[in-house]
Amino acid sequence: METRRKVMQGLALSALSAKALSGTHGHANEHAAAPQMIDAYELGDQKGVETLRLSRRPMPQPGPGQVVVKVHASSIVARDFGIVAGAFFGPQPPGRIPLCEGAGDIVRLGADVTGFSVGDRVTANHLPDWRDGLWDVKYYANDIGNSMDGWLADYAVMPSEALVKLPDSMSYETAATLSSSGLTAWQGLFEVRPVKPGDIVLTLGTGGVSTWGLLLAKAAGATVAITSSSDDKLARARALGADITINYKTNPNWAEEVYEKTNGHGADIILENVGRVNIDQSMPAAASAGTVVLIGTRPPPPTPPEMKDLFLRNLTLRAISVGSTRMFRDLVTFIDRNALTPL
């Protein structure tokens, strides 16, 4: 695992190299002529990060409804590890470009693209078919960084319907943390059960969804509890604004601690980032009539969860898949308005 982390960290630096070499910070000040050839990482044999391969390929051309984006930043999330290993909805072609999160400048427009111009600073929803409305499983068919080429290249082709413009205040690095982690936290907190001032939010762990959940919930006026097995990470969470921090490793009965530290109320909203195996541990931390947002997809326990607190507390259990492009635009507006910066 340590080897994989080092390799992926190196790839992240490669994806940022254009930005670092240009010396820009937050904006690209000029648009150089596009090259004839570009560098891109490909999935290769899909046996893990070690089988990713660097390729040299022609500068991409946008088709109808597409744009070409000069990539200034890209990000790595948990699902990318499964994709490069062929374990996320099955294997993909060896020439597929990975990574679902990124940001940059539009350099070319395809036919039928409206609402965008060359030079616009953008990111993209990695489920481009989900523009608005309720979720439909068919939206998984087109998935940037998985069933479609992603961001780990000098230039990326993106569907225009998935694009979200960046405000002047937002850096490429911030935008490159949003399509998976930030948007998932947003849907859980502002769409499933809109958080309001005075609510108590519990988010499990200190990964990307949890840290964005912490920042978003605090900006909305909520009290936020967060768990981790690391006291160092909990200290960092407190620095980000966490009101309640709990080490679940040193305190296996952490749900009871949530109750104690919320004066017997419990959490109104729980971002369940572990999955079904953890349900019987997280539900007892919920307030009566609370909402548990199921995000994590770890394998289920060997026996079905009892879920007694689902009935005892009249809870709402809702699974989510990232979010729509309309939600994404709302998220970007909220981040801009509240001057939020990711960890």
pLDDT tens digits, one per residue of 225-267: 999 999 999 999 999 999 999 999 999 999 999 999 999 999 9
For tokens 């030079």, the residue is 119
Q: How many residues does the chain have?
A: 343
pLDDT in tens, 34-68: 789 999 999 999 999 999 999 999 999 999 999 99
Task: Give the three-state DSSP class for 101.
Answer: strand
> Which of 274-290 are b and which e, b meaning 16 or more Cβ less than 10 Å from the residue's Cβ?
bbbebbbbbbbbbbeeb
DSSP for 265-325, written as a single string: --EEEEEE-S-GGGHHHHGGGEEEEEEEEE---PPPPSS----HHHHHTT-EEEE--S--H
Please tell me the pTM assigned to this model. Answer: 0.89
**Residue 11 pLDDT grade (very low, low, confident, very high; cuts 50, 70, 90):** low
Quote the pLDDT of residue 297: 79
**Residue 286 pLDDT grade (very low, low, confident, very high; cuts 50, 70, 90):** very high
**The one-letter amino acid at 302:** P
**Exposed, middle or buried, 188 (CB in 10 Å: 0-12/13-18/19+)?**
buried
The whole-angstrom separation of Cα 86 and Cα 88 is 6
Ranges 82-86, 88-92, 193-197, 201-205: which has the least confidence: 88-92
Q: Is-contact 164 332, C-beta < 8 A? A: yes
pLDDT in tens, 124-177: 999 999 999 999 999 999 999 999 999 999 999 999 999 999 999 999 999 999
**Residue 299 pLDDT grade (very low, low, confident, very high; cuts 50, 70, 90):** confident
- Whether the predicted pLDDT of 29 surpasses 60: no
- Whether the predicted pLDDT of 197 surpasses 80: yes
